[in-house]
Chains A and B, each alone.
Chain A
Amino acid sequence: MEFVELIKTSRVDNVTLHTHIGKPVEVSLCVSSHHLILSARKEGVEELWILHQNIDAVERKPNGMVGGTIVVKCKDFRIIQLDLNSGYEKFVNVANSLEWLSTLDNMTLLYPFFYRPVYNMLEDGWSAFKTESEFSKLLVPGSNEEWRISYVNKNFTICRSYPSAVVVPKNIDDETLIAASKFRHGGRFPVLSYKHEGGSVLLRASQPLAGPGVKRCKEDEKLVNSVLGPGKKGYIVDTRSQSLAQSAKARGGGVEPEAHYPLWKRVQRPIDRQAVYLDSLSKLVDACNDVSCSIDKWMSRLESSSWLSHVKDSLNCACVVAQCIDQEGASVLLHGSEGLDSTLLVTSLCQIILNPDCRTVRGLEALVEREWLQAGHPFSLRHKKSCYSVGGSSVVPGGNKSGVIKGQQACTFLLFLDCVFQIHCQFPCSFEFNTHLLILLFEHSYSSQFGTFLGNCEADRERLELSKKTVSLWSHLNRPEVLPSLMNPMYEPNSKVIWPSVAPMSLILWRELFLRYSSALADGVSTRLKAASENTIHLNVKDKELRSKAAKLRRQLMELEKEAIEIGVLESPTSALLAESADATTGGTEEVAKNNSYP
């Protein structure tokens, strides 16, 4: 298939563009193979480039022979309206092109396969977070004996959604893993997700295929039990409700029969299924876009979207799991049904809470890589469509829905980012990154010039040869030109576990994300907020400079003092005082040394 076939009209002039701010402007519209480009063709006026992949819904309102109006709704919540008046044919052509190009099924036609960066890559993001290197970081030295990397899945035959390398208990051989995989939905046998400093671990899996007759699998039991130390007990946390778990039994799924896992206590921590998230998001975004409604209406729409309830439930579940691990020192096996959504949501949040490493830029990248990409969250499937075209009130008239399987679209990853945002708000100094990084991750997970979020699992990514043919997002983010813009000026490393509050009044709407393209942040509100964060950076930089300057001057003064004493300009002090003054200087320099790790 050639792009030419899909682009019948590549350029239309005199198009009126309406955005969320300012007055409508006259622009030229171009449809390229990967972008919709809107340009006012004037000096100093920025062009608007929208990736086709970012387009969620295209709505058309024909206006006789004159043309018509196209409303383009994007996955990053942007909505633009284009009035075309150069004839009906052009209008139809453009609308068709946008629909076709935004729903391409062939992944190799997507922009990441065509994008070539103009800068040199210092580090290849594709190999930055390999299981092997992460494995050694994940495990405290000395405990390596208990765990090993298994390549049992190297051809992706045991479990299609797992990566080729997984971390499992050392004393479990590959045969046992293979047997256990047959007992788990989609072959997702229990693997190590995180090991806490106390020694307790977090495992994740999918639901056991126990079925209504309470089948058992000795190998699975052996695998699960082997992680418990002598005399230790563990928790199996199920993210489904009791009824959902019960009904899963009828379909061959279900729960671990208690009789066969005697050391494990079952806990139900229901969070809603991923299928409802998108509906919820859709309602939320619609409410955010409507700035003219009354405040009561806004509040009730915010409430009925239930988005913040999902945030609260997810955080709550993560806190419970983290509590088991940190405070009771117990190990936890976590699963829902497929182990691709809520399971990953909770395991990754848990690590944000427990592991200070995950609160750094690289740590967050590694976490996303480990717990989302390698763990097989089906990004291409989940992010194929977003809130404007699936669920909610907006129905796409005549939209091309090929490849969209109902119930497979979700925004679990966005929910994860929102939860991280909430923790960030409560611990604004414990994160090395700022919340802008979270927004970037959100954007790139839906549409990007980078290949990182393409495909549904590692098997897909190997088949597509992404690491050869596309650039990794991590390569981009870790460049010295980009990295500083992601840094939190108030960061002070915090080695402790951070417990977020999940009280309703503690959770807030992520305005910077959800109101980004709503006029609520217009009138310079966002500019002023940016200015505030720049001020913060400025204050920090200034303080740092002053600190090093003071230390430098102190040293200089002491040297001069010594010199002065030597040549007799100053009276030489008594020995006691000399020691004291030496203390003062070394104290200063020591503190400066400490300061290097204290930005």
Chain B
Amino acid sequence: MLDRFNVKKSFVGVLYLTATHLIFVDPESKKETWILHMHILSAEKMPLTTMGSPLQIRCKTFLSVTFVLPKERDCQEIYTTLQQLSKPVQLEDLYCFDYTASTEEVQKHVGWNFFDLQAEFQRMRVPNDAWSLTLLNKDYELCDTYPRYLFVPAAASTTVLMGSSSFRSKGRLPVLSYLHTNKAAICRCSQPLSGFSARCMEDEQMLNCILKANPNSKFMYVVDTRPKINAMANRAAGKGYENENFYENIKFQFIGIENIHIMRNSLQKLLEACEQKGPTMNNFLSAIEASGWLRHIKAVLDTSNVIVQAVQEGVSVVVHCSDGWDRTAQVCSLASLFLDPFHRTLQGFQALIEREWLAFGHKFVDRCGFLAGDQKEVSPIFTQFLECVWQLTNQYPCTFQFNERFLLALHDHVQSCQFGTFIGNCEKDRLDLRLHERTYSLWGYIANHMNEYMNPLYAAEENTDVLVPNLAPQNIRFWRGMYCRFESGVHPREVMSDMLLALCDHSSSLEDHIRLLTKRIDSLKSKIDSKKKSGETKVEEKIEDCVDNKTSYDKEISEQDEDVFKDEKVNSLVTVEQLASELKSVAVEWKTLRNVRECNCSTPFDHFSRKCHCWRCGEVFCTRCIDKHTALPGHDSQRAVPVCRMCYKELRRTFSIDSA
């Protein structure tokens, strides 16, 4: 199949269709484009041209390509196949159930037990006097989209909880999301079923309990993240918002984040802005503006900021939108991120996603459109959350332990369905599907690739305060790295963060090596010294017999050494061969990342392919070629570090010689 790839610049190559991927290989540049079927957002047949039949494919990763197939029949076939493969009808047909990590040295169960809701709340010192664990939802009877363990005010009785739950949309009663050190809490729920005048004593008591759980404030905020008009409209359907007259001591506030449909359309427009053909600066800027995307991002950040300020003043906040799983998830998780330094670490960020998104039932299946079905349910809510975090990292370059690559990887893996982590709409779904037995966890994968996702500028000592970002419109930027990711050529040609990451790896390799060198030098010095001492007495006697005596000297010396370096018995027994292999195994200089256009396997590098160094030879490779990890003789710690295949073989060989 001969195809043209990309309209701006076309390539001719071969298109392969496998069970999981659509692969395009351009034989000239050896560039391979792998498109995971699950990543395909839409495939569209374009009108026939003289060149053939064009097939446009848009991906959830914001890749957009057009293949021109010479035969229309082929195009039609591929089109129908892709339609089926990219949108399975059943959850069981998703990629994660077939995926087996062949190259990864990870076990299937790894990662599933990393995060536990109870432990997470324990970290916030919950349960305590004011907040307790309720088991009412143990079998998901109270609310099937909530987690099994819920934390509620200790004062709230079962009747209150049940009553409140029944007065809330989908039974999503107010429960604890985050407890700050000053005892101010963030609680989340769905909208009340208040209609025009309905009220519920238990729900009113419930909010009162939440208020009372914080001894430092006489009132609390109830934040409805919807625009007022949306909330009003909901009243006609028997839903709505809290009436300030019925609830004691609450301050009610509308904020105005738009709904999922507006967000979906906004993203659509944003992508169109990115795809303009040869836009002028003004075309581009006005298209971005018209998409409204940055306005929505700012709205989410502003809302989170309002909540954070309230909490900092010691006032508790109850947050809801309609069902409390989209906008509420966004602002609650961001508020936690602002308030709690832990959530700005790699671990903590994963814990945050587990708590606010997975446990509290963000509908990943529906919002990401994993299955064929209602496309009106799809919306980039989680993407917006990631972007908000990215906006913050721009202002806080040393405060987040993870880097942009991590956010992108998260985004892609949420969409890819390669891991079971994001399958299902709520905790109950995931249990029913037995995902932890049948699929891999993304957290296990990430734990194995930690060094790729580290922010080299992270300074733990600076990550202590509550974030107070400046949300002036000038500071909200377009995220080129996300939405123009595959527009090769628009990105910086030299990626600072990658260079810094390589630098950090290099430093750590050298530190390790230096520790070993110092040990070797010390041991050699002491050997020479002791030799000189003993030599002074003995050498004079028998100079000619030196050779014969040598073995005995060695013995003596090694005995002495054993006294000196008891814990380094092995280290002190060095041979010249060993020294040589130790020196050879650590590259002092690493090849610069610049101008490395392709890996040894002749895969060309593009902006987002990570270039890795082999810690032994210092050469640059692609991630596929550097999948081996092993300890280097030249390192003191003997931890496993990345090496290229050649070096791996060589190290194996010398090891086998040594042991033989």
A residues near B (Cβ < 8 Å) are: 288, 291, 293-300, 302-303, 306, 308-309, 311-312, 425-430, 490, 492, 494, 496, 498, 501, 503-509, 511, 515, 518-525, 528-529, 531-532, 535-536, 539-540, 542-543, 546-547, 549-551, 553-554, 556-557, 560-561, 563-565, 567-573, 577-578, 580-581, 584-585, 588, 591-592, 594-595
Contacts and interface: CB of A to CB of B under 8 A. Distances in A.
Contact of B472 (A291, A426, A535): A291
Nearest to B278: A503
Contact of A549 (B397, B472, B514): B514
Given A427-B494, A506-B491, A564-B527, A585 B457 contact: no
A561 to B, nearest CB: 6
Name which of A293, A509, A542, A568 has the most chain B CB atoms within 10 A of its CB.
Answer: A568
A106 to B, nearest CB: 39
B485 to A, nearest CB: 11
Interface string B265-295: 0000000001000011111111011001011
Given A505-B484, A531-B398, A568-B546, A560 B499 contact: no
A503 B490 contact: yes
Contacts of B589: 547, 591, 594-595
A533 to B, nearest CB: 9
B517 A553 contact: yes
A154 B282 CA distance: 46
B626 interface: no
Given A288-B474, A494-B594, A571-B575, A306 B584 contact: no
Please classify the interface of chain B as helix (H, G, I), strand (E, B), loop, or mixed, using the class held by over half of its residues.
Answer: helix
B510 A546 contact: yes
Q: Sorted from nearest, which 6 A-B pairs have the closest CB atoms?
A: A504-B284, A299-B289, A532-B397, A298-B473, A581-B580, A291-B472
B496 A581 contact: no
A430 B524 contact: no
A581 B473 CA distance: 61
Contacts, number: 237
A528 B282 contact: no
B473 A293 contact: yes
A568 B550 contact: yes
Contacts of A585: 583
Nearest to A532: B397
14 contacts: A295-B476, A298-B474, A306-B282, A425-B492, A427-B493, A504-B281, A506-B491, A557-B521, A557-B524, A568-B546, A570-B527, A573-B576, A580-B580, A595-B589
Interface string B546-561: 1000100110010000
A547 to B, nearest CB: 6
A309 B473 contact: no
Contacts of B496: 428-429, 490, 536
Contact of B468 (A425, A523, A594): A523
A561 B490 contact: no
Given A490-B496, A505-B487, A564-B524, A519 B472 contact: yes
Interface of B: 274, 279-286, 288-289, 292, 294-295, 298, 395-399, 456-457, 459, 462, 468-470, 472-478, 480, 484, 487, 489-494, 496, 499-500, 503-504, 506-507, 510-511, 513-514, 517-518, 520-521, 524-525, 527-528, 531-532, 535, 546, 550, 553-554, 557, 574-577, 579-580, 583-584, 586, 588-589, 592, 594-595
Contacts of B525: 560
Nearest to A511: B474
Indicate the member of A504, A546, A565 with the most B CB atoms within 10 Å: A504
B489 A546 contact: no
A503 B489 contact: yes
A503 B546 contact: no
Most buried by B among A296, A592, A595: A296
A293 B295 CA distance: 12
A148 to B, nearest CB: 37
B605 to A, nearest CB: 16
Contacts of A288: 474
A569 B531 contact: yes
Given A425-B492, A523-B470, A569-B557, A553 B503 contact: no
Nearest to B520: A557
Given A520-B474, A554-B517, A581-B583, A296 B289 contact: yes
A569 B281 contact: no
Contacts of A563: 528
